[in-house]
Every structure is written in structure tokens, then in C-alpha cells.
Amino acid sequence: MRQYYTIAILIPTSNTCELKRDDILNVLTSAQRFSYLLMISLTMTFLTACSTSPSSPKEIPPELFSELANSSAYYLQKDQLYPDSNNVDWQLLTVQALIEEGRVVLADSIISHMQSKTLSGKDKTSLGLLIAQNLFAKNQFDESQKALSAIDPEQLSQLASIASLSLQADLYIKRENHLAASNLLLILTPLLQSDKSKQKYNDILLTQLSFLPAKTLNQYETVDAAKSPIEQNFEKDLFKKGWYALASIFKRYQLRINLLKQGVSDWKKSYPQHPVLLFMPTQLTNIHEIQPFQPENIAVLLPLSGRFQEQGKSIKLGILDAFYRQQQLNKSTSTDALAMNAINSPTLHFYDSHAQTMKEITTQFAQNKIDFVIGPLLKNEIETFLPLVEKMPVLALNGFPENSLNSTINKPETVTSVKPWHYSFSLSPEHEAEQAVQFISENKHQNPLIIAPDSDYGKRVAEAFKNEWQTRYNREIEQHFFTSKSKLDSFIERVLYTDQSQTRINQMKSLTRLSLETAVRSRTDIDAIYLVSKRDELILLKPFIDVTVSPFADRIPLYASSRSHQFDRGGLQNKELSNFTFSDMPFLIHQQDEIITTLNEVLPRQSYAALRLFALGFDSYQLIGQLMQLQTNKDYYYPGLGGQLSLDLNNTVQPALSWATYYQGELVEVASPTTSE
């Protein structure tokens, strides 16, 4: 027999009754503190004062796991109107509503009450699914998965099955199992009934697919629209192909707005009947036109003291030079005072990243109204800094941390955690080595080897060269590392196999005891050498290579990185490096350019390393107004001091370096491809 509790409560007559009803639901915190019957009676007392009774005691409850039109209080009220044996449906609906409202403790109270009742198999299964959902809402994901796995899917209604699939997908997403989540969502989305759910899960599905490797997505990137669904392995397969192709476009071009728009447009032509067209993911419908950055206050984060202060000061000098040149250009192109007033040069704010932490610096941004950042320079500072300025455009002066990328520049994938308005620009020796691969291969060389110092730097560059060659041509190449300048002669003999040739000659003389005319032979299986070395190391390496190569063999073309290129004040070293080809920034090869001429007059005896950092600073300032154009147009480049500057799909500025060779001591620029002598 049902029991009732008499509770005296003063009920206000104002319109705040609905709020009081919610407050009552929050009062109940556990089944141990209040009995389920007390909760029902208390809630009903309030609801009687705030609303009218239901129109019919025989009202049919909405289907469980459908979209509910009323609050949990409404379903509690319905529960009270029916005998205990007939109110299970209303109690289950109440639990569903409480979970959706985030009232997990109240949901636990009713769940505990229902678990003490005798339920049908179907109701028990439904309650089990609600328990799994409630555990998920409490962030108890392992327990939620266990509860979900214990459910018999044969006992689930159609809507319950959809709810079960949705929960399983959410659990996969929480575990970052993007492939499993994507596969499940591809099953789930065609089953959804409401427009709201279709839009929601299409958005989620695109995000999950975009986390998959490009190789996985690209297998379905294109489709022949002229073929029938049967010819394309049935409509179900076409549905998956369409999603994979769409995600591939989004993944590749999400940082390139115009390319993304064009890609989506082409996709629609290839898949004119795809169901996703009715509810396109919002990531692909809210694509806004972008404008160039026009900041008013630019923060520049550089180490202006400490170990890296010289590098920081060289970059600062480049930024200031570009800043003042831009001001002069504005003045020279303005014809009247009104035009001059319309051209507002930004204000530069320099921050010493050595003297202050990244957090200390960012706390000053609001006061100085910072709306663009150049820097920081050091990688560890970039890793700390970027999460602090997620909504501010940044041009970092080093590469992004490895954990923020999901690919290399050789594989056109986009970043996973880098914001579209965060860019990186650095003097990357690895990227220079990758350009060397292209240049050397364009000169018809097929079997180069690498010589580099046995250091972290040398191994990094050599590995980058080796990996790029392997990626392009699927062939392994040799790497050789030297340790001491005093032993370079024997090192080169080992690399070119002349030591083995000399050993064979000695053995023949010993066996025959004759005076034989012999000549040491060097190896003939290599057709180029790429050297990573400092200038003084290169000066020793080249003559050793020249004298070690057999006199009757073809000369081996030699290539080097910019690390070997330095100013030769006496002019003697350049003559020793004749026929040596190397890469470097254009403005260091074109010695007559106005900027380099002015620098040599104002700051004589500057090292090329300092001048490269000057160029990095100069170009970083000039790029501010160009970044959006670079980002939206894959064919656009900016002619900087450091080379033709483009932007890859990882939002990293890539300078295309120039190549030059010494001919009788004079520097001569060479174009690609060249014929090395």
C-alpha cells in the first residue's frame, strides 16, 4: 500500500514557483538521506501549488530516449499520478531528463529506487543504459563502458539502440580512439531522426575523421561521379567514401580558406546526392572571408639579455630596420596630410624573454593593447607561450613543438593543435637539407652521400637529408660523420674506399715482390657529396676529397649548406672552394643589394650568422601583412631577404634558398637545374 507524507510548506503565489520547483530537485542529494516516496511527495506538494493537474490520468508517456519536451519535474509529477505498478515508464523518463539536465545525484536516487523493484527484461535493459549514461555524465568512463557492455542489444528499442551507439561513440572519443569513433559514427548518423541530432553528430564525425592519417582519408578523396552507385561498390560504400573525401579536404585545407571553399565546392559536384548535404558540418558552412592583419600594437618577444642576447639583438635590428623602412615608404607614397594621417604605423613593444617568464609577459598585453606577436625565439618558450595566447595572432621565430604537429611538411596534413592564426618562421637547417635534396636530384644525381660532423647538429641535418631522399626516391643513402679535423685525411680515404685500394696494392706487391706501376682507385658508385660543415672544416675537407679521388675518375660534384658560407676578408679561401656549390639566403649571395651594402657600412665585420638573423627579423615584420594572402593562396609567395617565402599546410613559413658557386674566387649564382663540373 502506498504511503504519503504530510508536509506543511508555505507556497509563494508569485511567478517564482517554477524556480522553487527546481530548487526542490536540488535539495535531494541521495537515497540514503531521503526515501524515494518522500521525494515524490515533496515534489508533488510544490507542483500542485505551481501548476494544474494533468488533463488525463491515462496519458501515454513519450518514448524513452526520444527528445523530451518537458523538464524532469514534469515527469516526476506524472509518476505520482499512477499506481506503483504502472509508473515505471514515467520514472525512466524522469531519470533521462535528470541526466540531460546534469542532475546526476538526483538521477542516482531514482535509479537506486528502481533497482529495488521487479522490472521486466526490457525495462531492466533500459535502466542499464540510463545507468551507463549517468556514469558517463559523472566522468566515470570506465564504469560507463562496463555498464554499457553488459547490456543485451537485442533488448533495446530502436531509439535505445541509437542512444547506445551515441554513448559508445562518446566513450571512444574520450579515449581518443578516433578510428573507432569515426566508424561508429558512420553507422549512427544515418539512423538519427531529429535535425538537431543530425547536425550535432555530423559536426562530431567531421572532427573525428580529420584526426585520422591523411593516407587513410585520401583513399576515398576522389570519386567518378559518372559511375552509378552499383559501380562504386553500393550506396553504403559511397556514403563512407563521401565522408572520407570531405574530411580529407577539411584536414588538408582548414588553414587555407579559399582552397577549403573550392575543395568543398568540388566535393559537392562529386557527391551531389550525399546525405550530409542536408546538414553540412558547421565547420564547412561558417567559412568567413579573411582580411590581412593590420595590428596597432605589436609585441616582440626576444632574449635581449642572457646567453642568446646576441641572436636576439640581431633579430631586433632586422625588425627595426623593416619598421623604419616601411615608415619611409608610407611617407614617400603619401601625397597629402590626410593620407598620412590615414596610414597609422603600429607601435612596437619589445619584451626581454630572458628576464621575464612567458606568463609575466602576457599579463602586460592587455595594458599595452597588444594585437599581434612576433616571437618567442626559443622552442621551449614557444611551447609555453602559445597556450597563453590562443586567440591572438602569433608569428613564432622557431618551429612549432613536435607534439603540436601530426605530420612533416613532406606529407600535406595539417596541424592538430596549432591555431589557424599561429605561424612559425625559423632558420631551419633541416628544411635547408630538404631543399638540397631537390636541388641535387634536379642536377641528375642519383647516389649522393652525406658527410657531417659527429654532433647533434650534424646528425639532425644528415637525418633530414636522408629521410627526404628516402621519401622521394625510396632509396637509402650513406651517412658518414667525422670527429676530428686532424684525422680528416684518413676519414676521407675510408669514405671514398681509397684505403681499401691501397691495401690491395700493398698485398699485390708483397705477393709478387715486383715493382708494379699502380694507382689508387676511389669508389665510383657515388655521383655527389653533400657536406654539412663549418667554413674551416670545409677548407680542409675539399682538398682531401680532391686529392683522394682517382685522377682518371670523374670529379665528384660537391654541395654544402649555408653553414659553410662566410665572408672571406682576404679572398684566398674562396679561390680554394672553386666549383663548390652551396645554398644560402639571396641577400647574402647578391652582395650588391642596397640593404647588405648599408649594413656593411653601418655594422662592418658582422658575421653571416648574425646577418641571417637580421634577415629573419626583417622578413618577420614584413610578413605581418602578407600572412593571410600566403595562407589562402597556395601559389602566392613573398620575396624576402631570406628567399621566396611561402606558407606550408602546417602554417610554417618556408624560405626557398638560392644556390651559388665559386668560380676563380668569385661568387656566381646558379639556377636549378645546373650541370656541375
Mean pLDDT by 10 residues, the chain (677 residues): 35 38 40 44 42 54 87 82 72 90 90 86 90 92 93 89 92 92 92 90 92 79 47 64 90 75 89 92 77 90 96 95 88 56 77 96 96 95 94 94 54 56 93 93 92 94 94 90 86 73 53 54 79 89 75 80 77 71 89 77 82 95 90 82 90 92 81 53
Q: What is the pLDDT of residue 155?
A: 86
Q: Which residues contact 623 (CB under 8 A, 6 or more apart)?
A: 395, 425, 630, 638, 640, 645, 653
Q: What is the pLDDT of residue 383?
A: 93
| CA pair distance 313, 302, nearest whole angstrom | 8
User: What pTM value is reported for the model?
Assistant: 0.61
Q: What is the pLDDT of residue 592?
A: 62
CB 27 within 8 A of CB 55: no
User: Based on the number of CB atoms within 10 Å of its own CB, is 129 exposed (0-12), middle (13-18) or buried (19 or more)?
Assistant: buried
Q: What is the pLDDT of residue 674?
A: 44
- Determine the length of the chain: 677
Domains and CATH numbers, the chain: 16-172 (1.25.40.10), 176-288 (1.25.40.650), 297-428 (3.40.50.2300), 430-595+637-670 (3.40.50.2300)
User: Based on the number of CB atoms within 10 Å of its own CB, is 248 exposed (0-12), middle (13-18) or buried (19 or more)?
Assistant: buried
Nearest C-alpha neighbor of 132 from the set 117, 111, 106 = 111
Q: Directed axis angle between helix 608-623 and helix 594-602, to 10°?
A: 130
Q: What is the pLDDT of residue 504?
A: 52
Q: What is the pLDDT of residue 2?
A: 40
Instruction: Print the SS3 string covering 481-511.
Output: EECCHHHHHHHHHHHCCHHHHHHHHHHHHHH
Q: Cell numbers for 54, please give them.
A: 494533468
Q: Note if the bond before 303 is cis, omega within 30 degrees.
A: no
